[in-house]
Structure 1
Amino acid sequence: MQTVSSAFDAAYWQGRYATAGRDTWSVGRITPPLQAYLDQLGVGPQPRILIPGAGRGYEAEYLHQRGFRHVMVADFAPEPLAELADRVPGFPPENLWQADFFQLAPTEPFDLLIEQTFFCALPPALRPAYAQQCAALLRPGGKLAGLLFDTPFAGATEPPFGGSREEYRAYFEPYFAFIHFDTAYNSLPARAGRELFICLQKL
């Protein structure tokens, strides 16, 4: 099974989170496109939701505040998970997973995976494996929803890594039907026109 590159292991991410100015991808709150999507979800029956590579977990915090109780958060580094636990004391500690996404094998599949800056944090060579693992973690008909950078980051040697919708489509087509796959209309100003909002349904 694939695993995250040793060049960007837990120690690498712990260092980035712990160093001021090294987590510039984080905006300190849930982003408008994901908030708008999550606002459409009903809370009953409770869906099983996974947020992989969740970082500081603002999406998990938002879902928890809205009454969702089966939200699992996975991240390689302990620091952002500890911050989420401190920031949201009521969040179930058993739902905070310090783990390699590619090694996850829960006993129950998920209804929804939320993507927010995890895909762009992976070495591009792992993108096909990411799509495959997302499909493996979802129940039939389950969804993968979130944001991808629809812009190249020329010369990037460390995350975030960019790309194009044409490239991404090839990774997901073997496993998913495309419900929505277009430029986000409500991105933050600094990201306007450079984000692709996706909602994909497992075949």
Structure 2
Amino acid sequence: MTTATERPAISPQTQRQTEISAMTQDTLHHQNDPVAWSTLHEALVRPGTWKNAWDLGLTPWDHAASTPALRSLLASPEYPELTKGKILVPGCGGGYDVHLFAQSPGCEYALGLDLSPVAMQKAEKLRDEKSISPQKAQFLAGDFFVHPFGTKFDVVYDHTFLCALQPTLRKDWGKRMAEIIAPGGHLITYMYPLSDHEGGPPFALSVEVYDSLLSTEFEKLFMEDVLETFESRTRQEYGEKLAVWKRK
């Protein structure tokens, strides 16, 4: 029993989630405020915070749709192989890209992977609402770097996954991509943010960073500037490109 002057003990996790909630709610109301975004970014680099953000429903990076650039690429007759076979989307969040791939011709199945079980539940709910087969659009909560997939993929799509990782993990990202993509398979990289800003996430990337991580095991087939992007990103000064790589 507590008296009027006593308060129940609050666990460190609950306290941290409360702090994140307060900072992120403020950020959502000040999306053009670089100080507010900086505060959110500082919170997001702490262990477990990506999962906490999904648990709290505080995900200002979630655009609830696939990028126009990916939609255009998959609809193009130039690279029909990008929708065929087994497809993986690491860090898939709400699963919008997985849904898109699963509904594309030639897709055996598309697998979305994310650290957050809450994100995976959201993705599955949206899948069911869209009447997409659970066999075609699958979701799994797990760690990209250690999960035993048990197969190699024909296509992997990275959209704002690399930029969310600490830069110390970038070499591991490149090695893992080479491990899980079948020879002749393809990696699609949505290169964002192309910038020289400090800190993150999102951490700054460059074409040279991608080349250094992938050129040994992959051939770059295609790269172009992204001209149509999400409205919220048009207020930023970050560059965006889309590239297709083929596993050697």
- Whether the 8 Å contact between 1:138 and 1:202 is mirrored in structure 2 is yes
Deviation at 1:167, TM superposition (A): 2.1
Query: Could you say what secondary structure the match of 1:143 adopts?
Result: strand
1:115-164 Cα deviation digits (max 9, x unpaired):
111111111111111111111101101000030211233233xx221221
- 2:120 corresponds in structure 1 to 81
- 2:154 corresponds in structure 1 to 111
Q: Distance in 2 between matches of 1:17 and 1:91?
A: 24
Deviation at 1:39, TM superposition (A): 2.1
Q: Which moved more, 1:91-100 or 1:121-130?
A: 91-100
- 1:55 corresponds in structure 2 to 93
| Equivalent of residue 152 in structure 1, options 188, 191, 196 | 196
| Equivalent of residue 65 in structure 1, options 103, 109, 114 | 103
- The total of aligned residue pairs comes to 193
Q: Distance in 2 between matches of 1:63 and 1:170?
A: 28
| Pair 103,8 (structure 1): closer, same or farther in 2 beyond 3 Å | farther
Which residue type is aligned with residue 151 of structure 1? S
- 1:101 corresponds in structure 2 to 144
| Pair 176,50 (structure 1): closer, same or farther in 2 beyond 3 Å | same
RMSD: 2.5
| Equivalent of residue 242 in structure 2, options 189, 194, 197 | 197
Query: Could you say what secondary structure the match of 1:48 adopts?
Result: strand
Which is helix-richer, 1 or 2? 2
- Superposition map of 1:121-160 within 5 A: 121-149=164-192, 150-156=194-200, 159-160=201-202
Uncovered stretches (5+) of structure 2, i.e. residues with no partner? 1-44
Q: Distance in 1 between matches of 2:171 and 2:223?
A: 17
Q: Which moved more, 1:27-36 or 1:103-112?
A: 103-112
TM-score (norm. length: structure 1): 0.83
> Aligned residues: percent identity?
23
Q: Distance in 2 between matches of 1:135 and 1:8?
A: 28
TM-score (norm. length: structure 2): 0.69
- Whether the 8 Å contact between 1:105 and 1:137 is mirrored in structure 2 is no
Uncovered stretches (5+) of structure 1, i.e. residues with no partner? 1-6
Q: Distance in 1 between matches of 2:220 and 2:84?
A: 24
- 1:4 corresponds in structure 2 to none
State the structure with bigger RCO (CA 8 A, min sep 6), 1 or 2. Answer: 1
